[in-house]
Amino acid sequence: MEPTFTIVCITLALFVAGCGGQQAKSKEICKRDNGFFPHEEYCDYYYECVDGAAYLQECPNGLAFAGNRKGLLDHCDYPHKVKCPDPDGKRIMGQPARGSEPCPYLFGINPHEKSCTRYWLCWNGTGTVQMCPFSLLYNEHEHACDWPDKVPGCQQHPLCQGTPNGLKAIEGSCVRYWQCMGGYPRLQRCPAGLAFQQESQRCDWNGNVPGCEVSPAPEEEEEEQKKPARRQSNRREEEVTLN
């Protein structure tokens, strides 16, 4: 047998064996001829089966395979929403970080480095600061805004010590006050004609807040003094007309 013919036969045999192995793997992966199926080791990879053949696909950096349901992008979603890593640790994220701070992964939700009430929403490598609703703090473990008592270790501003969520009067001011949200103060102002009352924790009429009663302006006082004289003059004119 010629050497060249022998080499060709061996190559064909290896090719056939490889094809057979690939077909066997596709049958193992593809539970159906067409569909999407998880990778055996990594959450951020998955297989797309077309006519029984399995093709390896990759989720956007930072996202994980969400199954056949619609995810954030195609069939991929945030890892915490698809419970990755899984409880037994068999499947983990496999892609390296491809972004930069504050978005090491191109897609994700990350805590803010200086604020407990804010967090970063990363989309294709661009981070946008998001604000938690009133009185909530960002919980890194839940990847969501949560009640302050469930977010231990969050530093509070000195103005809000002892009152992480509430209102505090400002000394020397009747209309301005601090609104503490998650341990951080925000300056607020009462509407015109109202003053802040610490006891009731709300803006009230000036006359109901001791020390914040508004005295009439000098022009208003003069106008009030003239009103009785005008009324008396009008009565006299009416009497003359009637007589």
Model pLDDT for residues 202-239, shown as the tens digit of each residue: 999 988 999 887 644 444 444 444 544 454 545 444 44
Rg (CA), the chain: 36
Structure token digits, residue 123: 């989309």
Structure token digits, residue 33: 């001829």
| 160 vs 182: CA distance, rounded Å | 9
| 107 vs 126: CA distance, rounded Å | 8
Q: pLDDT class for 50, splitting at 50, 70, 90?
A: very high
| 181 vs 163: CA distance, rounded Å | 9
The model's pTM is 0.57
| 178 vs 160: CA distance, rounded Å | 9
pLDDT at 131: 92
Average pLDDT over residues 56-69: 91
Structure token digits, residue 196: 């802040």
Could you give the percent of the chain with pLDDT greater than 70? 76
Neighbouring-strand partners of residue 131 = 118
| 103 vs 106: CA distance, rounded Å | 6
Amino acid at 155: Q
Average pLDDT over residues 82-110: 90
Per-residue pLDDT at 20 exceeds 50: no
pLDDT at 239: 44
| 38 vs 139: CA distance, rounded Å | 29
Name the most confidently modeled range: 100-114, 131-145, 227-241. 100-114
The owner of tokens 């604020």 is 115
Per-residue exposure over 111-128, b if at least 16 CB sit within 10 Å of its own CB, e if not: bbeebbbbbbebeeeebe
Per-residue pLDDT at 70 exceeds 90: no
